Structures are given as structure tokens and as C-alpha cells.
């Protein structure tokens, strides 16, 4: 009888623990997944057009010689006296490790919304000139990047990596053509769970 009572209390304690685990939030379950890492980058066209991006790096497949990952990022940059741009983009990449180092090649696409710096004017109904609202312009943004990095999670079991590289992207719908850009990317990636 005592053994039966002891088993009953252990079962009830286990059920309470299972309920608490099920109550764990979606955000917590996503962020503490070993495939998920948070990214923070300086994203700037040279030093004169500074910007930042924040994103998620999700590992799709990992082998000793290659890792395939899917990245999503939100960010923006400021081009003084020209425009301010915000973007959302996604990319698929392959990371080739070489000891602590890696080479990362990414191909992606995104949406950019740019806002001209300064006032915008339009022709009024009576033929004069009046100030127009600045709603900005929408752009398609295909991207390609090459990054070199130092990955401390491979052999030292530390949860971060550091990278530097270049991203080439096109800005669509500017006078019916694409404008090419090159941005420097310097940043780090952090895994909450290794």
C-alpha cells in the first residue's frame, strides 16, 4: 500500500512537470533550439552609408564539410542627403568550415523601402508647385554575399561566430532599371543552445 502511494505521488509530480514543459512559450522553444542562432550585423555601403541588420540563422543541414542554412534579416541604412532605406530579406547559404574558420556563400531576395532625404514637391491642380507626402518607394532586392568567419562553436564549444564580408545587391525600380550596390557586413552570430 505504501509503495502504491509512493508511485502515485511520483506519477503526479511527473505530470506537473510535463504540464510546465508544455506551457513553455513558442518564443522560448524556438530560441533554445540548437538549429537557431541570432545574427547582428553592421550593414553599410562603405563608412559613409552606415546601417545595421538583425536576423535569425536557421541550420537546415549540417555535415563535417558543409552546413546549409536559411537566414532572415530586418535592417536599414542611412545615405546622407540621399535616402534612408529599410529592408526585409531572406537567403539560403552554404558554409564551408576550415578548422575554426569558414567561408559562407549566400543567395537571396528581399524587399526594400527607401525614403528620399529632403522635401518632395509635386504639381498642384492649379499648375503651381506644392509639397507632396513622402511615402517612399518600394524596391525588389536580390542579394549575393561572401563572408569569411571565425566559428568558435565548432571545436571550442562556444556559442558564437564572427564574420566579415561583402554583400552585393540590386535595387529595382529606379528609373526603370536596377542599381547595383555593395555593402560591407561585419557581425556576429550567437546560439542560445549548443
Give the pLDDT confidence of 163-181 residue by residue, as tens digits. 999 999 999 988 889 999 9
Is 47 contained in some domain?
yes
If we measure between CA atoms, which residue out of 85, 88, 46 comes closest to residue 71? 88
pLDDT-derived band at 4 (thresholds 50, 70, 90) equals: very low
Q: Which range of residues forms the domain containing residue 106?
A: 33-190
pLDDT digits (tens, 9 = 90+) for 80-93: 888 999 999 999 99
> Per the domain annotation, does 28 fall within a domain?
no
How far apart are the C-alpha atoms of 74 and 53, rounded to whole Å? 5
CATH number, position 79? 2.40.160.20
Strand partners, 39: 55, 189
177, part of any domain:
yes
Would you say residue 154 lies in a domain? yes
Any domain includes 174:
yes
Q: Is the pTM of this model over 0.75?
A: yes
In a domain, 26, yes or no: no
CB contact at 8 A, 170 and 16: no
- Give the pLDDT score at 45: 82
HSE at residue 75, side-chain half, CA atoms within 13 A, is 24
Would residue 107 count as lying in a domain?
yes
User: What total of structural domains would you count in the chain?
Assistant: 1
Amino acid at each position: 500500500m505504501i509503495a502504491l502511494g509512493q508511485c502515485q505521488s511520483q506519477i503526479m509530480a511527473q505530470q506537473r512537470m510535463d504540464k510546465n514543459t508544455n506551457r513553455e512559450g513558442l518564443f522560448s522553444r524556438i530560441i533554445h533550439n540548437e538549429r537557431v542562432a541570432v545574427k547582428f550585423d553592421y550593414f553599410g555601403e562603405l563608412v559613409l552609408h552606415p546601417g545595421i541588420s538583425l536576423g535569425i540563422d536557421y541550420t537546415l543541414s549540417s555535415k563535417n564539410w558543409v552546413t546549409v542554412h536559411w537566414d532572415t534579416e530586418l535592417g536599414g541604412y542611412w545615405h546622407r542627403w540621399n535616402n534612408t532605406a529599410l529592408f526585409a530579406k531572406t537567403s539560403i547559404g552554404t558554409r564551408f568550415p576550415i578548422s575554426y574558420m569558414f567561408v559562407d556563400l549566400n543567395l537571396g531576395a528581399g524587399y526594400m523601402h527607401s525614403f528620399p532625404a529632403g522635401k518632395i514637391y509635386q504639381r498642384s491642380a492649379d499648375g503651381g508647385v506644392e509639397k507632396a507626402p513622402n511615402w517612399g518607394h518600394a524596391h525588389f532586392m536580390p542579394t549575393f554575399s561572401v563572408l569569411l568567419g571565425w566559428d568558435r562553436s565548432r571545436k571550442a564549444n562556444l556559442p558564437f561566430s564572427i564574420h566579415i564580408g561583402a554583400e552585393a545587391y540590386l535595387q529595382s525600380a529606379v528609373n526603370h532599371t536596377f542599381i547595383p550596390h555593395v555593402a560591407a557586413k561585419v557581425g556576429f552570430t550567437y546560439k542560445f543552445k549548443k
